[in-house]
Amino acid sequence: MPNPAKIFISSAYDRDLIPLRSDLKQILEEAGHFPLLFEENFFPWEPNFMRTCLQKVEESNIFILYLNENVGTYWESDKSSPTYLEFRKAIDQKKYIIAFLDAKLKAQYGDIIEADLVERYKAYRERYGKTPDYTIDIVEEVIEQDLSPRQRSNISHIHPFIWAFIYDVRARGIWTEELELARAEAAHKKVKEYLSDRLGEGIKFVPMKDAIYENALAVEEFSQYQQYTSTLLCYLNEGKIMNWSDFLKEGIKPLEGGAIHQRPGTYLAEEAKKFKSCEAMTVYKAFNGNMKLCGSYNVIDPETQYDLTDINSYVVTSYTQNANEIGYSEAKKLLYYTLKIDEYVLCFHYPMGEGWNEQKVEAFKKEIEYAIIDKTLFTDFLADLIGGIQHDC
């Protein structure tokens, strides 16, 4: 099913620009795109209309900006306008931006404003060690102190914020195409050229889309893993875990629930059941013929030890057979997953909810383990960390 590009068209709602916006909308629709214009398809509107506009910018793939002499709505208290806030949102969201600037306005900016504005902006940064809060403050200094009476008169009908807006667009490294309303077709042609160029660049990545997606997920998981390892290491002091309950609470946080699939890892994988996030954990260590409790989290009255001859204990079986075990308690509706590391056995407790019984757990053992070890990056670190600690049970 086609997934049309959403293209946000931003400008002051100026009567000179209305035909341009409308014509571009038709051209984009005919090309299979989905143009976003506030006068056409922003409904339903929120009470705060600006929130709706910014949400539409977030939804878009491409942002087209038209700037002319009309500032449109200007909020004096915020020193901003709706169009400018849309532009800033597009920048923050790293949208692909195509900008057009009225040809006459562009010439006036270059001839009258630009040099002094750039110089004063640079001087402000050097003096205060930061950028100005509002570029319009610097623009007003330029108009009042640097321009001749004739120059001020020539641009007196243009709101100073327009010059600030142009500066901020340029400062972001965005090229501004010239816009002449009498030659609107040329502007439309230029938009098509930009979109064609974007398509050409994008096509290069189509064969790599799966790898790009997987790499993005890997970066996200690595960031989570980095935070996870740093947090757990904070609970160690001279090779010993100082607070087992808090340590294990952090240890199971990434162990979220999910789907259990039949034929997991194949093209025929099909969701069969679900399991919930790990909610509790115990750790045992072999000592003097027993598996003794080292620590626990969220377990009421955990067993303090198991005899190594207790064949009914999943902990014991995991240790003696040197294997991971999956067990189930009908009474507690809990699934137990054990992991052996050296002299230790870690036991993870997963609530299973309705629809599970011992027979089903037995039938889905392979699939359950496949689903649980999806978080092996975290459980492996947790197991290795516990396996290397100093602890006398």
Identify the pLDDT of residue 166.
96
Rounded to 10 deg, the angle between the 160-171 and 82-92 helix axes is: 10
Q: Please tell me the distance from the alpha carbon of residue 250 to that of residue 378, in angstroms, as a whole number.
A: 11
Supply the pLDDT for residue 229: 84
What does residue 16 show for φ and ψ, rounded to 5 degrees? -70, -25
Percent of the chain with pLDDT over 90: 50
Query: Is the distance from CB of 163 to CB of 111 less than 8 angstroms?
Result: no
* The pLDDT of residue 354: 80
- pLDDT for 283 equals 95
- The yes-or-no verdict on residue 227 having pLDDT over 80 is yes
pLDDT digits (tens, 9 = 90+) for 175-186: 999 888 778 788
Q: Which distant-in-sequence residues (6+ apart) come within 8 Å of 323 by Cβ? A: 317, 340
Mean pLDDT of 221-240: 80
**What is the rounded average pLDDT for all residues in the chain?**
87
With a cut of 90, say whether residue 32 has pLDDT above it.
no
Q: Any idea how long the chain is?
A: 393
Q: Give the per-residue pLDDT at 207.
A: 56
DSSP string covering 67-113: E-S---S-BTTTTB-HHHHHHHHHHHTT-EEEEEEEHHHHHHIIIII
Q: Which tokens sit at 235?
A: 């609970």
Q: Supply the pLDDT for residue 328.
A: 92
- DSSP readout, 165-180? HHHHHHHTT--EEEE-
Q: Are the C-beta atoms of residues 260 and 271 closer than 8 Å to each other? A: yes
Instruction: Give 137-167 pLDDT, tens digit per residue.
Output: 999 999 999 999 999 999 999 999 999 999 9
pLDDT over 80 (residue 2)? no
Tell me which residue of 131, 199, 210 sits closest to 167, measured CA to CA. Answer: 131
CA nearest neighbour of 366 among 266, 281, 296: 266
Could you give the CA distance from residue 339 to residue 361 in angstroms, rounded to a whole number? 17
For residue 353, the model assigns a pLDDT of: 78
20/12 Cα distance (integer angstroms):
12
Q: What is the pTM of this model?
A: 0.54
Closest alpha carbon to 69 in 140, 157, 174, 152: 157
Q: Are strands 6-10 and 34-36 parallel, antiparallel or unpaired?
A: parallel
The answer, yes or no, to whether residue 266 has pLDDT greater than 80, is no
pLDDT at residue 221, rounded to an integer:
65
Range of lowest pLDDT (216-230, 257-271, 306-320, 342-356): 216-230
Of 196-205, 234-243, 378-387, minimum mean pLDDT range:
196-205
Contact 9, 36 (CB under 8 A): yes
pLDDT of residue 236: 83
For the chain, what is the radius of gyration of the CA atoms?
Answer: 32
185 CB neighbour count, 10 Å cutoff:
10
Q: How many CB atoms lie within 10 A of CB 331?
A: 5
Predicted pLDDT of residue 228: 84
Task: Please indicate whether residue 111 or residue 382 has the higher confidence score (pLDDT).
Answer: 111
Confidence class for position 352, pLDDT limits 50, 70, 90:
confident
Q: What is the mean pLDDT of residues 261-265?
A: 82
- Asked if the model's pLDDT at residue 49 lies above 90, the reply is no
Quick one: tokens of 252?
């199971």
Longest distance between any two alpha carbons in the chain, whole Å: 100
Domains assigned to the chain: 6-207 (3.40.50.10140), 234-387 (3.30.450)
What pLDDT was estimated at residue 265? 75
pLDDT value for 203: 47
pLDDT of residue 121: 94
pLDDT of residue 205: 45
Q: Which amino acid is at 115?
A: A
